[in-house]
Amino acid sequence: MMFEGDGGAWLGIDLGTQSVRALLVTGDGRVLGAGTAPLAGRRDGVRHEQDPGEWWEAVCAASRAALAGQEAAGVRLGGLAVCGTSGTVLLTDGDGRPLTPGVMYDDGRAVAEAARVGMQTSWALPKVLWLLEVYGRGLVTHQPDVITARLTGGGTVPTDSSHALKTGYDVEGEDWPSRLAYLGDVLPEVVRPGTRLGGVCRAAAEATGIPVGTPVVAGMTDGCAAQIASGALYEGSWNSVLGTTLVLKGASARPVRDTAGVVYNHRAPDGSWLPGGASSVGAGALPTGAGAGVDPVEMDRLAAAYEPSGVVTYPLASPGERFPFLAPDATAFVLGTPASEADGWAAVLQGVAFTERLCLDYLHHLGAPIGGPLTFTGGAARSAYWNQLRADILGRPARVPEQVEPALGMAVLAAHGGTGLSLTDTADRMVRIRTVLEPRPSRTARFVEPYARLVDELENRGWLPTPIATHTRSRLNQETPDS
Q: Indicate whether 247 and 205 sit together in one domain.
A: no
Burial of 420: CB neighbours in 10 Å, binned 0-12, 13-18, 19+:
exposed
Question: With helix as H, strand as E and coil as C, how does 120-147 read?
Answer: CCCCHHHHHHHHHHHHCCCEEEEHHHHH
Residue 59 has pLDDT above 70, yes or no: yes
Give pLDDT tens digits for 150-184: 999 978 899 999 999 999 999 999 999 999 999 98
Q: Round the CA-based radius of gyration of the chain to a whole number and report it.
A: 22
Domain membership flag for residue 481: no
Least confident of 55-69, 290-304, 349-363: 290-304
DSSP structural state of residue 369: -
Q: Indicate whether 357 and 235 sit together in one domain.
A: yes
Sequence-distant (≥ 6) Cβ neighbours of residue 478 within 8 angstroms: none
pLDDT at 157: 95
pLDDT at 72: 75
User: Closest Cα to residue 8, out of 385, 369, 414, 302?
Assistant: 414
User: Closest Cα to residue 352, out of 324, 327, 326, 330?
Assistant: 324
Q: Is 455 helix (H, G, I), strand (E, B) or coil?
A: helix
Q: How confident is the model at residue 318 (pLDDT cuts 50, 70, 90)?
A: confident
Domain membership flag for residue 416: yes
Contact 310, 345 (CB under 8 A): no
Contact 231, 255 (CB under 8 A): no
Q: Indicate whether 414 and 355 sit together in one domain.
A: yes
HSE-up of residue 214 (Cα within 13 Å, Cβ side)? 28
Give pLDDT tens digits for 372-426: 999 998 889 989 999 999 999 999 999 999 987 899 999 999 999 999 999 999 9
Which helix (H) or strand (E) is 115 found in, with range? helix 111-117
pLDDT at 1: 46
Q: 194, 219, 244: which is the final residue of a domain?
A: 219
Q: Indicate whether 200 and 241 sit together in one domain.
A: no
Q: How do 246-250 and 273-279 pair as beta strands?
A: antiparallel
Domain membership flag for residue 125: yes
Domain membership flag for residue 1: no
How far CA 428 is from CA of 34, 122, 424, in Å, comes to 21, 33, 6
Q: Indicate whether 89 and 133 sit together in one domain.
A: yes
pTM, two decimals, is 0.88
pLDDT at 483: 52
Phi, psi of 415 (to 5 degrees): -65, -40
Q: What is the span of the domain harbouring residue 131? A: 8-219
| Rounded Cα gap, residues 17 and 420, in angstroms | 31
Residue 479 has pLDDT above 80, yes or no: no
Q: 219, 250, 265: which is the final residue of a domain?
A: 219
Phi, psi of 191 (to 5 degrees): -130, 165
Q: Indicate whether 243 and 201 sit together in one domain.
A: no
- pLDDT mean over 54-82: 93
Domain membership flag for residue 79: yes
Give pLDDT tens digits for 419-454: 999 999 999 999 999 999 999 999 999 999 999 999
| Rounded Cα gap, residues 396 and 138, in angstroms | 49
Q: Indicate whether 202 and 239 sit together in one domain.
A: no
Q: 166, 191, 219: which is the final residue of a domain?
A: 219
Q: Is 66 helix (H, G, I), strand (E, B) or coil?
A: helix
Contact 392, 384 (CB under 8 A): no
| Rounded Cα gap, residues 450 and 466, in angstroms | 18
Q: Indicate whether 129 and 266 sit together in one domain.
A: no
Contact 410, 82 (CB under 8 A): yes
Which helix (H) or strand (E) is 47 found in, with range? strand 47-50
| Rounded Cα gap, residues 378 and 244, in angstroms | 9
pLDDT at 158: 97
Q: Indicate whether 99 and 207 sit together in one domain.
A: yes
Longest dimension (CA), the chain: 64
Q: How do 19-26 and 312-314 pair as beta strands?
A: unpaired
DSSP H stretches of helix in 321-404: 341-366, 384-394
pLDDT at 291: 52
Q: Indicate whether 381 and 261 sit together in one domain.
A: yes
pLDDT at 289: 56
CATH of the domain at 51: 3.30.420.40
Domain membership flag for residue 250: yes
- Structural domains in the chain (count): 2
Residue 308: cis peptide before it, omega within 30 degrees of 0: yes
| Rounded Cα gap, residues 168 and 154, in angstroms | 25
Contact 39, 30 (CB under 8 A): no
pLDDT at 405: 85
Domain membership flag for residue 424: yes
Contact 399, 373 (CB under 8 A): yes
Domain membership flag for residue 452: yes
What is the chain's mean pLDDT, rounded?
A: 93
| Rounded Cα gap, residues 339 and 231, in angstroms | 40
In DSSP terms, which residues pair with 300 in a beta bridge? none
Q: How confident is the model at residue 482 (pLDDT cuts 50, 70, 90)?
A: low
Q: How do 238-242 and 374-377 pair as beta strands?
A: parallel
Give pLDDT tens digits for 253-308: 999 999 998 999 999 999 999 999 989 999 989 987 545 678 999 999 999 999 99
Q: Indicate whether 104 and 253 sit together in one domain.
A: no
Give pLDDT tens digits for 78-100: 999 999 999 999 999 999 999 99
HSE-up of residue 298 (Cα within 13 Å, Cβ side)? 5
Q: Indicate whether 213 and 265 sit together in one domain.
A: no
